[in-house]
Amino acid sequence: MRVILVANPKGGSGKTTLSTNLAGYLASAGKRVALLDLDRQKSATHWLAMRDMALPDIELMREGQKEDSDWLVIDSPAGLHGKNLERALKLAHKVVVPIAPSLFDIRASQDFLAALNEEKAVRKGHAFVGVIGMRVDPRTRAGVTLEGFMEQQELPVLTYLRNTQAYVNAAFEGKSLFDMPHHLVERELEQWQGLIDWLDR
Ligand SMILES: Nc1ncnc2c1ncn2[C@@H]1O[C@H](COP(=O)(O)OP(=O)(O)O)[C@@H](O)[C@H]1O
Ligand SMILES: [Mg+2]
């Protein structure tokens, strides 16, 4: 089983959006997928509860439960640090860090990325970290600042996902972008390619 941890200590950075869409992508690609929701707010769990049985299946994994899917996606809570971060990292093969374009998000993420780089699992090359610009509008000052910040990081920037209601609308129905009619989300799906290529590596 391959494990993807989606993490950023900042609330609202896009963790749940990314986790649910990642799970949706993998399921739509015919993989057996489980989703582990470590957040007490249980947003990913609620999303899954809304999901139509006819859509590609995603299992909800409970903590401590045995799981034999191809992929496990872990959605994590805001404020993840210390022992809990260490424990999640021990499970993970890939860590995806969504960063929203604001001063506060960029600052908080900087400290988190530095902390990640200190973690044993990351230093030993057991868990590979990639960053994603989330809700980015390249025309705004915040978007440009985020792009500048990302370029300075020594971590790969997997992609930028633009700010669009497509994510919000899909979530209402327990769907990911990959469950939507393709002509409605063509640009979005294109933006996912960098992340998808990195997963396969
Ligand atoms: N690319 C995007 N475009 C538009 N809205 C987004 C995008 N990504 C996230 N959002 C919205 O931003 C808010 C915070 O995202 P969420 O995934 O809940 O963050 P977190 O899990 O890190 O707290 C949610 O309302 C979500 O619908
Ligand atoms: Mg969340």
> What integer best gives the mean pLDDT of the chain?
94
Domain total for the chain?
1
**Which atom of ligand 1 is the closest one to the Cα of 135?**
1
Report residue 75 as tokens: 């959605």
Residue 67 scores a pLDDT above 90? no
The CATH number of residue 156's host domain is 3.40.50.300
Residues of the domain holding 67:
2-200
Pocket-forming residues, ligand 1, beta carbon under 6 Å: 11-17, 43, 134-135, 161, 163-164, 167-168
Q: Which of 59, 48, 40 is nearest to 20 (CA)?
A: 48
pLDDT at residue number 147: 83
**Per residue in 27-60, pLDDT tens?**
999 999 999 999 999 999 999 999 999 999 999 9
Q: How far is the CA of 156 from the centre of ligand 1 (A)?
A: 21
Q: How far is the CA of 17 from the centre of ligand 2 (A)?
A: 7
* Protein residue with least CA distance to atom 25, ligand 1: 168
pLDDT at residue number 1: 94
If phi over 0 gives left and psi between -120 and 50 gives alpha, with beta otherwise, what is residue 172? alpha
